[in-house]
Amino acid sequence: MSDLNQLYSEIIMEHYENSPHRRELKEATLKERGHNPLCGDDITIYLKINGDVIEDASFTGHGCAISQASTSMMIDLIKGKDKKEALRLVQKFIDMIHKKDVDLEELGDAQVLQGVSDFPARVKCALLAWKTLQDTLK
Amino acid sequence: MMDVKKIREDFPIFNVKPHGKRLVYLDNAATTQKPESVIKAMEEYYEKLNANVYRSPHYLSVLSTEAYEKARDKVKKFVNAKSEESIIFTRNTTESINFIAYTWGMKHIKEGDEIVLTIAEHHSNILPWQMVAEAKGAKLKYVYLDENFRLSMKDFEEKMSDRVKLVAVQHMSNVLGIINPVEEITQIAHKYGAKVLVDGAQSVPHMKVDLKKINCDFFAFSGHKMLGPMGIGVLYIKEDLLDEVPPFLRGGEMIDEVYEEYSTFAPPPLKFEAGTPNVEGAYVLISAIDYLERIGLENIYEHEAKLLEYGLEKINTLEYVKTYGPMDSKDRGGIISFNVEGVHPHDVATILDEEGIAVRSGHHCCQPLMRYLGVPATVRASFYLYNDFDDIDALVEALKKVRKWFK
């Protein structure tokens, strides 16, 4: 049970059920869809970028608790950051999920997703948003 | 009455305790577990008769060739085909269907022709026909379901015309469990001069299939969904089409004479089996069929019907679970697709897994059907001969826990 506690912690459920970032962003300058063809998780990330700074960000879509919460937490983290910093944090998150030693504090709420690394079948769900953002900003 | 406890003892996999729990294996539509006799047969093949087939005159080659041909004969009788020439070994159902698409399909389907499919088809019975349709300028037509989640025969008859050259239909749905009236479908299709391909991946392991009765032109199924090994599948081509279907792959074993510029082919079925075939897989398939016949396909079907009835009744008592499929268990295999309100199927499957329950979640390679049902994905529990009421009770109890996590 302790494993599931980690996977479906209160904070993850909160992001899943009541994310403040779940909306369309009318003034978005970048819009990117990401999906896991094998399981059907499907998200769209909206970014409003001014110069190098991500001024606003949001997402829409559907999928499991992990994919949706992870997306919401990522938006939390990258909003207000410049592109380079956002990409650095994305890499950090990906490293965490791949069980590499990273400084978790920097990842904010998203650090609670570390537990996903013990559920190999769910790693793709956690990474979907981050990989999508990486592809968009690169 | 089947003795499930005794049957379960034949399957070593049940010694595995996932997360320390009893294994409740409900993912049989994806693949089935293997009895000890089947596992032993794999070893036996390499210990006692391994050699390449049809080529060498030595002792072992004679043994392996005999074993391979015995497997063909076994399969022929198992599905009541008329002749051995009609039984072609492939890797799996997907390869069998692609085989017909690339050979018969590419040769005989022309611009303006139509291919009729059902909306519930597995991707493996959709994508090959999309390929043919695109290459040839043919059109795909889908038959939809009625209000009780069964194939609408009215819609089917409306889709049929002289333009239709092929009807490609599943025998049993891997999502809804519905068993389609393929005999009647074939009769109607033949009236219009269309050929019929039946995807039997889900039916052959769970019910008595009689190809003479169905009378379809092509039939495909996989060994691994019927207690056999992965990597061996079957394609049936009706006797009168064996000459009309060109070879799929070309190379060794399938030839008569080879010249610098052209070649002639061996008679069927060898003409369709280029290269060294999966002799081991075919040999082991004999053991799988032996096991199924010892229990009896009628008994297995009846047993799964009881599981289905019990499962539907129990699961439908949970007001936050929605099942998809006909409300009755008539002409329906042991498959229940469902969703838990407010919980994504992947989360359901992960929580069930913690309880030792193996189910599949996702679109089940049926995206058009999912779209038609208006759901992104479902959870699927699929039964086989080693499942019992306890497994269903375990599933229902675990679903109550799912609800607790997602209140």
Q: Which of B302, B311, B368 is nearest to B335 (CA)?
A: B311
Chain B residue nearest residue A41, CA to CA:
B376
Q: What is the DSSP string of B89-106?
A: EESSHHHHHHHHIIIIIH
The model's pTM:
0.94
Cβ pair A119:B376 closer than 8 A: no
- The single-letter DSSP state of residue B150 is S
Catalytic residue list contains B216? no
CB B139 within 8 A of CB B165: no
Q: How confident is the model at residue A6 (pLDDT cuts 50, 70, 90)?
A: confident
pLDDT of residue B171: 98
The residues in A 88-117 lying below 8 A from B, measured between CB atoms, are: none
Domain boundaries in chain A?
A: 4-137
- Residues B208/B297, Cβ–Cβ less than 8 Å: yes
Taking contacts as CB-CB distances below 8 angstroms, the residues of chain A near B366 are none
Check: CATH 3.30.470.20 for A4-137? Answer: no
Beta-bridge partners for B378 = B362
Rg (CA), chain B: 22
Neighbour tally for A53: CB within 10 Å = 15
Q: Sorting pLDDT into bands at 50, 70 and 90, what band is A1?
A: very low
Amino acid identity, residue B147? E
Q: Nearest C-alpha of chain A: how many angstroms from B405? A: 7
B392 Cα distance to chain centroid: 23
pLDDT of residue B285: 98
- Give the integer Cα–Cα distance in Å for B189 and B163: 11
According to the model, what pLDDT value does residue B93 have? 98
What span, in angstroms and rounded, lies between the C-alpha atoms of B50 and B200? 30
Tokens of B119: 């909306």
- Give all strands of the β-sheet with B335-340 in edge-to-edge order: B321-324, B335-340, B378-382, B360-362
What is the tens place of the pLDDT at every residue in A83-118? 999 999 999 999 999 999 888 999 999 999 999 998
Which residues of chain B carry a pLDDT beneath 50?
none
**Among B90, B193, B149, B111, which residue's Cα sits nearest to residue B331?**
B149
Could you check whether the bond before residue B269 is cis, i.e. omega within 30 degrees of 0?
Answer: yes
Which chain B residues contact residue A61 at CB under 8 A?
none
A65/B406 CB distance under 8 A? yes
Give the model confidence (pLDDT) of B162-219 as tens digits: 999 999 999 999 999 999 999 999 999 999 999 999 999 999 999 999 999 999 999 9
Q: Which domains does chain B have, with CATH numbers?
A: 4-28+296-405 (3.90.1150.10), 50-292 (3.40.640.10)
Q: Backbone phi, then psi, for A70, in 5-degree steps?
A: -60, -40
Q: What pLDDT was estimated at residue B405? A: 84
Q: Which residues contact B215 (CB under 8 A, 6 or more apart)?
A: B183, B186, B187, B190
B318-377: per-residue pLDDT in tens? 999 999 999 888 899 999 999 999 999 999 999 999 999 999 999 999 999 999 999 989
Question: In this complex, is the C-beta atom of A5 within 8 Å of any C-beta atom belonging to chain B?
Answer: no
ipTM confidence:
0.87
- Res A39: pLDDT: 75
